[in-house]
Structure 1
Amino acid sequence: MEQQSKRIAALDLIKGMSVIGMIIIHTLLTFADVKSQSETFIGAFILFLGRGTSIFLICMGITFMTSRHQSLKSSLTRGVLLLAAALLMNFLKFVFPVIFGFAPHNFIQRYGWHGPIEQQYLYLMLLGDILQLAGMSLLFIGFIRKYVTNKYGILAIGILIALVSREVSGINIDFPVVNYVLDLIFNNDFPAYVYFPVFPWMSFIIIGMFFGKWYQELDYDRPQLFKNMVFTGFLFVALGAPLVFIYGAYNYNGFYHMGPGGVIYFAGWTLIFLWVIFKISINIKENKFVKLLKYCSKNLTTMYMTQWILISWGKGIFGFRENGITTVLALIVLYIILTFSVQILIDFLRKKSQRPKVIEVLN
């Protein structure tokens, strides 16, 4: 079977939508004041969309199993490159504006930090976001793909990571460099804040790998794959809901550092959502909007980095969390245009130099 026929159009559409969605979400979080974020319908709805990280990660896991990059060396190399790209992005987001004098004056003060400014910006340089999660995860999941051949074995590893995530949270050995790695894996809050620690968030990627392996065993039968997804999704929701709503202190504990019940519950709704998108996608004909989403999917990593850098630089112009919802909506349009413009420029320069992409997350 040809490689192209293994691709799932619904996942490309979802990844494409996630690019546009993240520009919208990050613009709101950066520029909207507290009232606009929490007390307006538009703000609250955009914040709700920001809870869709598990969709991105499960898609990553599925495509990882059918990617043309199947070697362990490729997975490790891409993981290291992503971690380097994440540090570069944080440097350009936070330190670059300070060096050239266009950082917002109220950004540091808003956090109420004290101590040397160098320490505060080191904190920001080491901030753990989705790129760090993807990079660290690639260092692990390459071994799973190579050595775990049973799909239920893959699923068991994903569930196990979710089950122990709260217990291992906070592991450290009080050695700064090593502790930063442990911070990315276990979230011990030293020396930086990690939004998406590997435990438990890698569970979503591995659950996606389970379905990617199942997809292979089904001889790339898409309808059957998504039928299996929706049934598994309802099972996960049934298992996770009581844990989240009855024992929430342990099993949820907030979106970014959820426990095992939260992982299972969110994974369930994610699988149901993927089934819905698949059903919609099979009735959509190729059009300009679909082509646009596929373009975003193809360039997801660079567009993710670009939009965050541009938005962070914009704090020096538009302020940090000082704007009403009308201004923010205008800024969302502006940043969508800017992000696409920069990506088109990157494509032009890459084509002119004939250089291939060096970092891919989901393709």
Structure 2
Amino acid sequence: MEQQSKRIAALDLIKGMSVIGMVIIHTLLIYANVKSQSETAIGSFIVFLGRGTSIFLICMGVTFMTSSHQSLASSIKRGGLLLLAALFMNFMKFMIPVIFGFAPDNFIQKYGWHAPIEQQYVYLVLLGDILQLAGMSLLFVGFIRKYVKNKYGILAIGLLIALVSREVSGITIDYPVINYVLDLLFSNDFPAFIYFPVFPWMSFIIIGMFFGKWYLELNYNSKQLFKNMLYVGLLFVALGAPLVFIYGDYHYNRFYHMGPGGVIYFAGWTLIFLWAIFRITANIQENTFIRLLKYCSRNLTSMYMIQWILISWGKGIFGYRQHGIGFVLLLIVFYMILTFLVQFSLDILMKKKPLFFRQRVSADETVLK
């Protein structure tokens, strides 16, 4: 069977949508004032969209299992590259404005730091986002893919990571480099703040791997796969909802560092959402917008880095969290166009087709899966 037949079109579209969504979300978070983020319908909705990280991670897990690059060495190599890319992106986001003198004063001041300025810069460069999570996870999930052959064994590992996540949170020792690795794994907030620690967020990737393995066992029957996602999603929501709403301090814990109940609950809604998107897009014909989303999916890693760097640099021009929702919407359009223009320019420099009219692509053109 050709590799192309293993691809799930709905997942490509969802990953493409995530590129559009992250430009919208990050522009709002950087430029909108507190009132616009929390007291307007549009701002509140965009902030809500920011809770959709689990969608991307489960998609990443599914495609990781169907990738043509199945070796453990490939997974470790890509994980290392993502970690280097994450540090490079943070340097470009935070240090270039400082070096060239266009970083807004109120950005640094908002933290209320009393530490030396050099230590503050190190903190910013080491901040942990989705790239760090993906990179660290790839160092681990390659072993799971290689050595765990039963899909329920894969699922059990994912749920176990969620189960222990709150208990291992905050593990630390007095060695800075090792401490940073522990930060990425368990988030103890020193020497950096990690938005998406491996425990528990890798659980979503492994849950996606469970469905990727199931997809292979179903002989690439995507219709049955998404039906299974619906059933498992309903079960997860039923199990997770009481934990989140009754014991929220432990199981939800402000989203970024959630416990087992939060993981199960959000995974459940994510699986239901994926089923719904599959049903909606099943009969949609290829058109320019669909090709655009597929283009975004193929270039997800680079476009993620481009939009974050551009939006962060713009703080020196437009200010930091100072604007109403109307101006922010204009900035969203501006950064959307600018992100695509930079990506198209990179395509030209790398002698790739710059636009999005390629019909057939390899299943492994992106680093993030």
User: TM-score band, normalised by the shorter chain?
Assistant: over 0.9
- Looking at structure 2, the residues matched to 352 and 346 of structure 1 have their Cα atoms a distance apart, in angstroms, of 8
Q: How far off is 1:313 after superposition? A: 0.1
Matching residue of 1:361: 368
- Looking at structure 2, the residues matched to 142 and 115 of structure 1 have their Cα atoms a distance apart, in angstroms, of 39
1:255 is paired with a residue of what secondary structure?
coil
2:159 is paired with a residue of what secondary structure?
helix
1:322 is paired with a residue of what secondary structure?
coil
The Cα offsets for residues 266-316 of structure 1, whole Å up to 9 and x where unpaired, read as: 000000000000001112111111010000000000000000000000000
Q: How far off is 1:93 after superposition? A: 0.1
Q: How far off is 1:106 after superposition? A: 1.2
Aligned amino acid, residue 105 of structure 1: D
- Looking at structure 2, the residues matched to 297 and 83 of structure 1 have their Cα atoms a distance apart, in angstroms, of 20
The Cα offsets for residues 42-94 of structure 1, whole Å up to 9 and x where unpaired, read as: 00000000000000000000000001111000000000000000000000000
Q: How far off is 1:358 after superposition? A: 8.8
Matching residue of 1:51: 51
- Segments ≥4 residues shifted beyond 2 Å: 356-359
Pairing 1:29–2:36 present: no
- Looking at structure 1, the residues matched to 317 and 116 of structure 2 have their Cα atoms a distance apart, in angstroms, of 25
Matching residue of 2:359: none
1:351 is paired with a residue of what secondary structure?
coil
- 1:168-207 mapped onto 2 (5 Å cutoff): 168-207=168-207
Matching residue of 2:231: 231
1:12 is paired with a residue of what secondary structure?
helix
The Cα offsets for residues 3-60 of structure 1, whole Å up to 9 and x where unpaired, read as: 0000000000000000000000000000000000000000000000000000000000
**Retained in 2: the 8 A contact 1:93–1:308?**
yes
- Looking at structure 2, the residues matched to 100 and 22 of structure 1 have their Cα atoms a distance apart, in angstroms, of 26
Q: How far off is 1:115 after superposition? A: 2.0
- 1:76-155 mapped onto 2 (5 Å cutoff): 76-155=76-155
| C-alpha distance 276-359 of structure 1, shift in aligned 2 (>3 A) | closer
- Looking at structure 1, the residues matched to 183 and 320 of structure 2 have their Cα atoms a distance apart, in angstroms, of 27
1:193 is paired with a residue of what secondary structure?
coil
**Retained in 2: the 8 A contact 1:16–1:293?**
yes
- Looking at structure 2, the residues matched to 80 and 16 of structure 1 have their Cα atoms a distance apart, in angstroms, of 24
Aligned amino acid, residue 259 of structure 2: G
- Looking at structure 1, the residues matched to 31 and 129 of structure 2 have their Cα atoms a distance apart, in angstroms, of 19
Matching residue of 2:215: 215
- Looking at structure 1, the residues matched to 187 and 365 of structure 2 have their Cα atoms a distance apart, in angstroms, of 28
- 1:151-166 mapped onto 2 (5 Å cutoff): 151-166=151-166
**RMSD across aligned positions (CA):** 1.3
Aligned amino acid, residue 249 of structure 1: D
2:351 is paired with a residue of what secondary structure?
helix
Of 99-108 and 19-28, deviating more is 99-108
The Cα offsets for residues 144-181 of structure 1, whole Å up to 9 and x where unpaired, read as: 00000000000000000000000000111111000000
Unaligned ranges ≥5, structure 1: none
**Retained in 1: the 8 A contact 2:298–2:366?**
no
- Looking at structure 1, the residues matched to 172 and 111 of structure 2 have their Cα atoms a distance apart, in angstroms, of 25
Aligned amino acid, residue 348 of structure 2: F
Unaligned ranges ≥5, structure 2: 354-361
- Looking at structure 1, the residues matched to 104 and 365 of structure 2 have their Cα atoms a distance apart, in angstroms, of 33
- Looking at structure 2, the residues matched to 178 and 145 of structure 1 have their Cα atoms a distance apart, in angstroms, of 26
**Retained in 2: the 8 A contact 1:25–1:49?**
yes
Q: How far off is 1:359 after superposition? A: 6.2
**Retained in 2: the 8 A contact 1:241–1:261?**
yes
Q: How far off is 1:139 after superposition? A: 0.1
Pairing 1:3–2:3 present: yes
1:346 is paired with a residue of what secondary structure?
helix
The Cα offsets for residues 111-140 of structure 1, whole Å up to 9 and x where unpaired, read as: 211121111110000000000000000000
Matching residue of 2:303: 303
- 1:286-297 mapped onto 2 (5 Å cutoff): 286-297=286-297
- Looking at structure 1, the residues matched to 190 and 84 of structure 2 have their Cα atoms a distance apart, in angstroms, of 19
- Looking at structure 2, the residues matched to 294 and 132 of structure 1 have their Cα atoms a distance apart, in angstroms, of 24
Q: Work out the number of aligned pairs and report it.
A: 360
